[in-house]
Amino acid sequence: MTKPTKATRHKKAMEKQKAKVDATIASATLERGVAVLLTGDGKGKTSSAFGMVMRALGYGQRVGVVQFIKGQQLSGEEHYLKDHCPDVEFYQMGTGFTWDTQDRGSDIEAAERTWAVAEAMLTNTNLDLVVLDELTYMLAFDYLDADRVISAITERPAEQSVVVTGRGGGSKLRAAMDTVSEVKDVAHAYREGIAARKGVDF
Amino acid sequence: MTKPTKATRHKKAMEKQKAKVDATIASATLERGVAVLLTGDGKGKTSSAFGMVMRALGYGQRVGVVQFIKGQQLSGEEHYLKDHCPDVEFYQMGTGFTWDTQDRGSDIEAAERTWAVAEAMLTNTNLDLVVLDELTYMLAFDYLDADRVISAITERPAEQSVVVTGRGGGSKLRAAMDTVSEVKDVAHAYREGIAARKGVDF
């Protein structure tokens, strides 16, 4: 008699779970764009942002992407957007990592130039989703003024969603976002000596 | 004299950082497919897997996607793959959440059917990337045998990468993966009463 009992217990537990899920959905009724922060030291922040780009494009939404830091070498998702998604507004700072440039002055100029593009997107009512990839480092290095960045994010069009990625970012930025996920690095292939993999890591 | 000092300190710190990064890259030389687990209770696991799909497609790689649970209602990334990526092998269990079906017997049958598709992908040397979305729940509910699943993952073609998503999954699965990221739910819009957003949350 173990099997029917297990099935019955399962049904009961699932009925309870469904009631809980339904109640949560019923209480979340505010319809507006959301601000999402993907932070932490683990793998998956930028890829998650690009997964949301795919999600938005699946509904025919308009998308803008600004990548801070990156752009020296194109990665897979950048190739994809350039080759297959000409309608996505796409801008890259293009300087490479701060430890590659090693030049604070030129980094700040590049950050300001890139931020101007982001700021324009954050006032563009035609865009449903804006991705600001690796933006947090611009705040961590004090390349951009945090208050100015946070104001632009919170004052964006009500229907627009925004996704910010990168480690850290500070408590003020966190407080300004609706959804915050911290991606923890529990294990990483490179610590086992495995090289970064094309199509997965870049 | 504050400014030049800051710039100089920055340069020194970045030189040090670059040496560290270079050493890490130099020591990770093993070239093979990686197994990635995206777990935890936060937002961004499935979207991260689909970001890696975009990344792989950007390099013209071959991709297979199996979605456990999902498929009752198409989400944005599913629309996108079906409409724009006919070359991606795509299979959905299609039952909806366990709290919707409330039927352990039919869930297990559907899980077995879906696993057969996944298992075939995990022996297909033509696929560069295989995504097994929400697979962990099949292990958590004991719908699939964990040892069988883990064997198929570890014995896949050496050049193939695999991404598994979902909460939990167990310590055995974790131990079998190269990269493990735990996505922590720090804040979520629905707790502020904001409805799930098209193009971001689904």
In the block, tokens 């339904």 appear at A22
- Residues of A numbered 31-70 whose beta carbons fall under 8 angstroms of chain B's beta carbons: which are they? 31-34, 36, 38, 40, 42-59, 61
Q: What is the CA radius of gyration of chain A?
A: 20
User: What per-residue confidence (pLDDT) applies to B96?
Assistant: 72
Q: A10 is written with which tokens?
A: 């399962």
pLDDT tier at B4, thresholds 50, 70, 90: low
Is residue A101 within 8 angstroms of chain B, CB to CB? yes
Contact list in B for residue A45 (CB cut-off 8 A) is 44, 48
Among residues of chain A, what percentage have pLDDT more than 70?
Answer: 97
Q: Where are the domains of chain B?
A: 53-192
CA dist A93 and A117 (Å) reads 10
CATH architecture of B53-192: 3-Layer(aba) Sandwich (3.40)
Q: Residue B202: name the closest of B96, B47, B51, B87 by CA.
A: B47
User: What per-residue confidence (pLDDT) applies to B59?
Assistant: 97
With residue B185 as reference, give the H or E element that holds it. Answer: strand B179-187
Q: What is the CA radius of gyration of chain B?
A: 20
pTM of the model: 0.90
User: What per-residue confidence (pLDDT) applies to B92?
Assistant: 93
Q: Residue B168: name the closest of B38, B66, B68 by CA.
A: B38
Q: Residue A88: name the closest of A33, A135, A129 by CA.
A: A129
In sequence order, what are the residues at sequence separation of 6 or more whose Cβ sits closer than 8 angstroms to the Cβ of residue A25? B190, B196
> Mean pLDDT score of chain A, rounded to an integer?
92
pLDDT tier at B71, thresholds 50, 70, 90: low
pLDDT tier at B150, thresholds 50, 70, 90: very high
Q: What average pLDDT does this structure show over B169-193?
A: 95
CA closest to B53 among chain A residues? A199
pLDDT tier at B12, thresholds 50, 70, 90: confident
Q: Is the CB of A197 less than 8 angstroms away from the CB of B61? A: no
Q: Is the CB of B129 less than 8 angstroms away from the CB of A192? A: no
CA distances from B108 to A40, A117, B72 (A): 36, 50, 17
In angstroms, what separates the C-alpha of A196 from chain B's closest C-alpha? 8
Residue A1 has pLDDT above 70, yes or no: no
